[in-house]
């Protein structure tokens, strides 16, 4: 089976679906990760202030994190972070359409469409459009994941994610946590959402709600059986 993960920024793939990716790889599935934006420039006053050395270091973090969960095929584009609304949506859709055409995945994982982060929302919309169920499509499942410090913040706008698809990651939780620790430039204090401690606690809490040790949760955009 071929799996495509489409995310806005480096580290979203680990936060949202890291344990599930590791499970797919253990099963022998082919996993491809597409990361569209560089993830750092929005923290500077202007894009021109962005130091390219920071980007190179972040790429190195991504490489180590993805290797930890077993991903060999990934692509990191350098669209401007948290400025995806400056691009024509059609251009982003065409990028994703191109990868779908080349990879021909059966399953796509992407962001929840009501995340607070605008880039996440745009990527979710672009994925659903790019993977629309035309004749001959290979995509039969689109699952949207939660991203800590974005999905739950969207709840303040009454845009709750109610998961309806659960994956047991009891055996791969520690791999997910270990992978995220390579994103040292994104890690927060242990009482904040983007920390190894809270990633573990969040997975364990979802697991407790569904009778397993740890889980990742998703919202079903489409499943064709």
DSSP string for 38-79 = -SSGGGSSSGGG--HHHHHHHHHHHHHHHHHHT--EEEEEEE
Per domain, the residue ranges of the chain are 2-223
Mean pLDDT, the chain, integer: 90
Q: With contact defined as beta carbons under 8 Å apart, do 19 and 203 qualify?
A: yes
Q: Tell me the residue length of the chain.
A: 225
Minimum mean pLDDT range among 16-20, 121-125, 186-190: 186-190
- Per the confidence metrics, is the pTM higher than 0.95? no
pLDDT 10s digits, 91-127: 999 999 999 999 999 999 999 999 989 999 999 999 9
In this prediction, residue 81 carries a pLDDT of 81
Which CATH architecture group holds 2-223? 3-Layer(aba) Sandwich (3.40)
In this prediction, residue 129 carries a pLDDT of 97
Residue 138: pLDDT over 90: yes
Q: Sign of the C-alpha dihedral, residues 68, 74, 80, 83? A: negative
Q: How much is the average pLDDT of 163-191?
A: 88
Measure the CA–CA gap between 140 and 215, rounded to whole angstroms: 22
Residue 208: pLDDT over 70: yes
Alpha carbons within 13 angstroms on the beta-carbon side of residue 102 total 9
Residue 214: pLDDT over 70: yes
Using 50, 70 and 90 to split pLDDT, how confident is the model at 216?
very high
φ/ψ of 170, rounded to 5, equals -55, -40
Strand order in the sheet with 107-111: 73-79, 30-37, 2-7, 107-111, 141-145, 215-223, 165-168
- The candidate with the shortest Cα–Cα distance to 39, out of 64, 11, 74, 65, is 11
In this prediction, residue 149 carries a pLDDT of 80
């Amino acid at each position: 089976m071929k799996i495509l993960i489409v995310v806005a920024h480096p580290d979203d793939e680990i936060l949202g679906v890291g344990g599930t990716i590791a499970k797919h790889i253990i099963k022998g599935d082919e996993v491809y990760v597409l990361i569209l934006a560089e993830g750092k420039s929005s923290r500077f006053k202007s894009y021109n202030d962005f130091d390219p050395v920071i980007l190179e270091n972040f790429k190195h973090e991504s490489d180590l994190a993805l290797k930890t969960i077993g991903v060999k095929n990934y692509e990191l584009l350098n669209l401007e972070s948290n400025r995806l609304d400056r691009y024509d949506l059609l251009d982003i859709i065409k990028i994703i359409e191109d990868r779908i055409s080349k990879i021909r995945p059966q399953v796509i994982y992407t962001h929840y469409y009501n995340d607070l982060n605008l880039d996440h929302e745009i990527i979710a919309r672009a994925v659903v459009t790019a993977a629309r169920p035309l004749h001959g499509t290979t995509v039969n499942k689109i699952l949207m994941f939660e991203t800590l410090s974005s999905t739950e913040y969207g709840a303040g706008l009454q845009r709750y994610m109610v998961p309806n698809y659960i994956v047991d990651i009891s055996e791969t939780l520690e791999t997910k946590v270990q992978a995220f620790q390579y994103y040292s430039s994104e890690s927060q204090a242990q009482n904040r959402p983007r920390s190894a401690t809270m990633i573990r606690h969040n997975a364990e809490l979802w697991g407790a709600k569904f009778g397993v040790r740890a889980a990742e949760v998703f919202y079903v955009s489409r499943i064709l059986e």
